[in-house]
Amino acid sequence: MKTKQVLDIIDKHLPGFKLPAGFISSYSGKSNCVYFASCTENQFLYVSESFTEILGYDSGEILEKGLDWWFSLVHPEDIDQMLSEIFQHCFLRPVSKRLNKPFSIEFRLKKSDGNWIWIRETKCVVSVTATGNNEMILGRFEEITEIKKEEENHIRQLMMEQGNSNPLLKAALPVIKSKLEGNVKHLPVSKQAQKPEGMIMPTKREKEILQLIGEGFSTKQIAEKLFISINTVETHRRHLLEKIQVKNSMELIKQTTNAFWLKAM
């Protein structure tokens, strides 16, 4: 789909929208899919027709099922790293460094026929709410399965030729071998995709404060931003520590970085 057509669709939701710098240039020009999603409504507002061409699913399926379904297609070994990068770029950064700042991630997705393919996705937050929460996301992805195969073949060739003579390569051999053999250990996705048993779910206000803590705002700044008292912020912070079962704010952010059950996206 031509860029102008995409912009016309987005303009219905964000009048005067301008495409972020680098959003187009980060792609190779091969078949790729563009999408536009609402974080507040947890759903896709638009996906280009190439979605079906790349993954085999009907484009109407993703519009109907939303973001949760999209994340369910990600390979279990890739979901934690993927969510960690999304949290870092879309939540830990202040609005000024998050808004209209594209970033790319690579992961495996399951096609409609059950096969896994590698995807390179570029996405960015293109609008936020009055309180600074993510509102709209613009994304684009292309299949890079063949590129990943070429990378693996190149790594294998380097290992054969320089594995014993190159000190840096030699030191990295255990990790490289594990990756190529598929033995890299990851946290089970279920631990991050579902709320831990017995844990009390934070309230809407507590999740707002959790996000602001993650973005580096002080207690005073949070109070001013949300028009509440410092004592109220401290009370919510204390409740968060109790509910997430951690001792301080650093542990709080660490424990919730990949916590998909918090509905961060």
Q: What is the pLDDT of residue 260?
A: 53
CA distance 108 to 200: 32
241 Cβ neighbours under 8 A, 6+ residues apart:
247, 248, 249, 252
Q: What is the pLDDT of residue 193?
A: 47
157 Cβ neighbours under 8 A, 6+ residues apart:
none
Residues of the chain with pLDDT under 70: 1-6, 21-30, 163-198, 254-265
Matching residue, tokens 């061409």: 53
Which CATH number describes the domain made up of 195-259?
1.10.10.10
Residue type, 177: K
Q: Specify the pTM.
A: 0.60
CA distance 190 to 126: 30
Structurally, at CATH architecture level, domain 3-143 sits in 2-Layer Sandwich (3.30)
Q: Spell out where the chain has E strands.
A: 32-38, 43-47, 103-110, 116-128, 134-143
What are 109's two structure tokens?
């997705």
What are 26's two structure tokens?
């980060």
CA distance 188 to 10: 36
Q: What is the pLDDT of residue 76?
A: 86
